[in-house]
Structure 1
Amino acid sequence: MNLELFSTNLQNIGKVRHGVDEFHKIASEIQKDEAQVKALEAHLEKCNGIRTELDLERRNHAEELRQINQDINTLEDITKSSKTELENRKRKISAAMTAVERMRGVLNDNLEAMSIEHKLEPSEEELRFQETSWDGVIKLWK
């Protein structure tokens, strides 16, 4: 009977040993899986951090682009305003110069009628104005 009991105990020990070996094998696989899950979680956390940074960067660039577009619009408005102002000045100066030329003509006619040989000549400013290409100046503003 002792031999039978010993044999049964030995078989039970073998079964327990086999169960322990299976347990260690499964525990080792679980540890590997857990390590992979932790590595994956760390990677996902890093990816989320990068995504957050990129989203913030995108928002910053969007704000910068909005500001640049606003500045461009402001500069276009200033350019249009300056162009209009320049055209208005040109018209006023041209009208004034035409009036000056007309008055000089009348004065020269009166001087000639009074037998005065002196004639009024255009001033340096008038000559410079006549030489100025206002169309070229205005084209620069377009």
Structure 2
Amino acid sequence: SEKYEGSENFETMSGEAIAKAAEQHKDWSKLVVFDEKATVIHASYKADPEELKEFLPAFKERGPTLGKGLTLAKEHYDIHRWSYNPCVTYGRRGKPGNMQGICLHKFTNEKTKKDLYAVITFGGDATTARMVPQLVEFCAKHVATV
């Protein structure tokens, strides 16, 4: 887990606690949790806050998000699903047999009332039908309430 400038302002959240909870999700290749200013709270790799700023408007309008897709760790993903309740958008990159998926979830921290975001990537046999609910549940249990 990397340390990020500004992340020490999250007294109620522990990047270490998030990392520990994420350990059970072996199918996740990458996990990043960040706030509405793209300040990284936790990342399983060296996340680029500038790149994360592109995720912030993802739930304002469906069309631009589906059309533009999402880029994480310099890898572009085509987005094919977008939902506002819950706020999730997801898609894939690659070719059959070598696919990588992505899921972005926006939610509100119950204590601070601030919007937070979490994004995961996954590959192998992992399916969006399994990964999307896992991410939503993970955020509700381990990030939104701390």
TM-score (ref. length: structure 2): 0.21
More RCO (CA 8 Å, sep 6+): 1
Larger Rg: 1
Query: As a proportion of its length, which structure holds more strand?
Result: 2
TM-score (ref. length: structure 1): 0.21
Query: As a proportion of its length, which structure holds more helix?
Result: 1
